[in-house]
Amino acid sequence: MIPIRRACYVSEQTTSPEETPDAAARPVRVNAWNGWDPLRHVVVGRAAGTVVQAPEPAVRRDYPEDGFPLGTFGPMPEDMVAEAEEQLDNFAEMLTRRGIRVDRPTPLDFNQQVSTPEWTQDSMFGCMPPRDLLLTVGNEVLEATMSYRSRWHEYLAYRPLLQNLFDSDERMRWEAAPKPRLTDASYNTKFWDTYNDLPTEEQLARVRDYDLVLTEAEPLFDAADVARFGKDLFVQLSFVTNRSGYQWLKRHFPDHRVHAVTSTNTHPLHIDATWVPLRPGLVLHCGERLADAELMEFFRLNDWEIIEAVQPASWDHPPKLSFCSPWLAGNMLNIDENTLCIEEKEVRLSEQLSSYGFEIVPVPFRAVGPFGGGLHCATVDIERDGDLQDYFP
Ligand code: ABU
Residue located nearest, by CA, to atom 6 of ligand 1: 273
Quick: pLDDT tens for 258-303.
999 998 999 999 999 999 999 999 999 998 887 788 899 999 999 9
Q: What spacing in Å lies between the alpha carbon of 133 and ligand 1's midpoint?
A: 14
DSSP, residue by residue, 75-91 = EPPHHHHHHHHHHHHHH
Distance from C-alpha of 73 to C-alpha of 124, rounded to nearest angstrom: 10
Range of the domain at 271: 28-384
Q: What spacing in Å lies between the alpha carbon of 323 and ligand 1's midpoint?
A: 9
Looking at 197-281, which runs of residues are DSSP E strands? 226-229, 232-236, 257-261, 275-279
For the cut 60, the answer to whether the pLDDT of residue 12 exceeds it is no
Phi-psi sector, 118: left (phi>0), alpha (psi -120 to 50), beta: alpha
Residue 361 lies in a domain: yes
Order of strands, sheet of 333-336, starting from the edge strand that comes earlier in the sequence: 333-336, 339-343, 359-363
SS3 350: helix
Q: Which ranges constitute the DSSP H helices of the chain?
A: 78-97, 159-168, 191-194, 200-208, 243-252, 293-301, 347-354
Total residue count of the chain as it appears in this document = 393
Q: Is the CB of 325 under 6 A from ligand 1?
A: yes
Q: Is the CB of 368 under 6 A from ligand 1?
A: no
Mutate to test the pocket of ligand 1, among 131, 328, 371 (most ligand atoms within 8 A of CB): 328
Q: What spacing in Å lies between the alpha carbon of 369 and ligand 1's midpoint?
A: 10
For the cut 50, the answer to whether the pLDDT of residue 17 exceeds it is no
Distance from C-alpha of 141 to C-alpha of 31, rounded to nearest angstrom: 9
Q: Is the CB of 270 under 6 A from ligand 1?
A: yes
Distance from C-alpha of 238 to C-alpha of 225, rounded to nearest angstrom: 8
The tally of domains found in the chain comes to 1
Mean pLDDT, range 68-93, rounded to an integer? 96
Residue 352 lies in a domain: yes
Mean pLDDT, range 365-378, rounded to an integer? 95
Q: Is the CB of 372 under 6 A from ligand 1?
A: no
Mutate to test the pocket of ligand 1, among 225, 272, 322, 323 (most ligand atoms within 8 A of CB): 272
Q: What is the ipTM of this complex?
A: 0.94
Distance from C-alpha of 321 to C-alpha of 318, rounded to nearest angstrom: 9
For the cut 80, the answer to whether the pLDDT of residue 308 exceeds it is yes
- Determine the pLDDT at residue 9: 73
Q: Is the CB of 273 under 6 A from ligand 1?
A: yes
223 close to 240: Cβ distance less than 8 angstroms: no
Nearest atom in ligand 1 to 270's CA: 1
Quick: pLDDT tens for 113-139.
999 999 999 999 987 899 999 999 999
Give the strand pairing for 173-176 and 140-143. Answer: parallel
Give the strand pairing for 275-279 and 282-285. Answer: antiparallel
Q: How confident is the model at residue 324 (pLDDT cuts 50, 70, 90)?
A: confident
Distance from C-alpha of 151 to C-alpha of 53, rounded to nearest angstrom: 9
Q: Is the CB of 130 under 6 A from ligand 1?
A: no
Mean pLDDT, range 63-81, rounded to an integer? 93
Residue located nearest, by CA, to atom 1 of ligand 1: 270
Q: Is the CB of 272 under 6 A from ligand 1?
A: yes
Q: What percent of the chain has pLDDT over 70?
A: 94
Q: Is the CB of 377 under 6 A from ligand 1?
A: yes
Residue 76 lies in a domain: yes
- Determine the pLDDT at residue 5: 47
Residue located nearest, by CA, to atom 7 of ligand 1: 325
Distance from C-alpha of 30 to C-alpha of 136, rounded to nearest angstrom: 8
Query: Counting Cβ atoms within 10 Å, is residue 357 exposed (0-12), middle (13-18) or buried (19+)?
Result: exposed
Residue 134 lies in a domain: yes
Give residues with Cβ within 8 angstroms of 107, minimum separation 6.
46, 48, 49, 126, 157
For the cut 50, the answer to whether the pLDDT of residue 3 exceeds it is no
Backbone φ and ψ for 372, nearest 5 degrees, come out as 120, 5
Q: Which residues are catalytic?
A: 222, 270, 377
Least confident among 7-11, 281-285, 290-294, 344-348: 7-11
Q: pTM of whole model > 0.80?
A: yes
Least confident among 39-48, 99-108, 194-203, 289-298: 289-298
Q: How confident is the model at residue 23 (pLDDT cuts 50, 70, 90)?
A: confident
- Determine the pLDDT at residue 11: 56
Q: What percent of the chain has pLDDT over 90?
A: 84
Residue 22 lies in a domain: no
Residue 59 lies in a domain: yes
Quick: pLDDT tens for 102-111.
999 998 999 9
- Determine the pLDDT at residue 224: 98
The CATH number of whichever domain residue 67 belongs to comes to: 3.75.10.10
For the cut 80, the answer to whether the pLDDT of residue 1 exceeds it is no
Q: What separation in angstroms does the CA of 346 have from each of 162, 175, 288, 350, 370?
A: 33, 36, 17, 6, 17
Q: What spacing in Å lies between the alpha carbon of 169 and ligand 1's midpoint?
A: 32
Mean pLDDT, range 177-202, rounded to an integer? 97
Query: Counting Cβ atoms within 10 Å, is residue 237 exposed (0-12), middle (13-18) or buried (19+)?
Result: buried
Mean pLDDT, range 43-69, rounded to an integer? 94
Identify the CA nearest to 278 among candidates 36, 71, 62.
Answer: 36
Query: Counting Cβ atoms within 10 Å, is residue 178 exposed (0-12), middle (13-18) or buried (19+)?
Result: exposed
